Chain A
């Protein structure tokens, strides 16, 4: 036993096959109340050609088997509820349980988006208060809560810019994106109908302002900037960047993925940003749920307001709220109905719990990142030395000398009881270790993490094999991803597929 592994120990967990492999005809896990109207004859009602006899292959199991099946699967997961989840740029913070509770209340979870607005005032008030809070936090003038996630928020933001520029006669051609940006930025620009031009960062990892000045022409619609950047560094010249863009009629888009570094401390609207999205599943604590759902509200300056997606939430003179379906200059709808309402509810519950004290969360997040940075500097290479905000990015260049790369170190962290940090991103740092602890970690948890990282660095120097072959304590070892992609198996099939044999 390795005594330097303090946080974790191995323990038995249950094996479990696929649910389809447990199925046996006649078992069931769900019963409906008896039918209280005459039973319709499906063949008569639907017509024989529309009729289906039942879903071939669907599981037939009992309730206890369902519960055990998914409970067993759950024990194979790491989660914030188990410990630190230092994924850089993902902001894996505590997801308060009260948020889950209120999102499930009768009268909240039960509401239909087409019910009369006089019976939806509670929902609309929630949306209104969230709008107001997010506007105050971002320093912006107007907002839409409709986008379902960050990437859709980005698209909405660029469409707002496009709508605004089109109205002035020319939507322009290009969007500038730094080489340190999230992959969603360039993918989004293409969907919004723009060409992408990448800008190289200068030697400190910041936007090269002089180069930017040359690049910004009348063809440029916007610059998409992440602030703090994916290096965790605040773009200090952001007001100047905004001026350069504005002088040529272009706009500044801010990817708000890293808003956890700024909330309550500074406001993008004050910095010259024209439009930005927020990831409520990052900064505002809605649970990541294994990959969503999220929500990606977009906050903007006055000039973009007329272009917001419909419906628009409007406060009437008598205080009543309504959703107005039509706006002449709207970019249209980006998603059906009124956004990921249940996620918006959770985000508001989070904001109300903190109130103005949310600044303390930001401070603790930055404190944790800097504490880790201080303790690991020298143990790991720090390629960019400007002050860190909410995350710190090291490189594996020291460990590389022994053939150990960032992915190996990340996998070894698992044996030490931690979820890996973000590996190999941002792209401008070869072999990146991107660490974002968030405010949710205690000093004790940070210390354990630091200890683990130091122990792994020692191992990389003295017995690199153990790191290169990690993890050693998980129920499966590193999986064959190349094989998975070469001959994809993307669904379960019965052992002897009768239908295929018939073909």
Chain B
């Protein structure tokens, strides 16, 4: 850490970290949204020969979503240290209570999603099994909700004091 801080200013380091967090969040958001849409609105039949490209099967997103979710949670937990001291205190002083409260809810939402990841991964190991089709669908939708909520609230907090604010 001290090596990095000898090369750049502390502010710049945290802003870069926050920006990487944002970029990965966009990737996670795209993957989990595509998968959630695929389970909510599955196509009933093949397109035939009219389209010469196969769509990416929904199950293939699973490892990417698990890895990105865990990585994002860890990265968020790291940035959270800075948020707690540098962002939240002025937020409270300026009476941005809804923003602070929404961020508190974000911590819990992300944690709940984290706990579901082993089951989510297990259900997607056999995407064709009818046994867990319903729960697989709703666990995926719940994860998509967690990612969307975290993304929007994180973005609002960033607008208060973050990259480009």
Q: State whether these chains interact.
A: no
